[in-house]
Amino acid sequence: MNGRKSKQIRRLAECKLFEWYKSLLPPEQQGELTAKLALQYTPTVSYWTEYHEREKYTATQRHVSEGTRRYFYLQEKKHVRV
The answer to whether residue 30 scores a pLDDT higher than 80 is yes
Instruction: Tell me the per-residue pLDDT of 37-47, one tens digit each, with 9 for 90 and over.
Output: 888 888 777 77
Could you count the other beta carbons within 10 Å of the beta carbon of residue 78? 9
Label residue 16 by pLDDT band (50, 70, 90). Answer: very high
CB 50 within 8 A of CB 43: no
Mean pLDDT of the chain: 83
Dihedral angle of Cα 5, 8, 76, 6, to the nearest 10 degrees: 40
Threshold 0.85, pTM exceeds: no
The Cα angle at residue 40 between residues 16 and 30, in degrees rounded to 5:
60
Q: Given this model, what pLDDT does residue 67 score?
A: 85
Q: In terms of residue numbers, what domain contains 73? A: 3-81
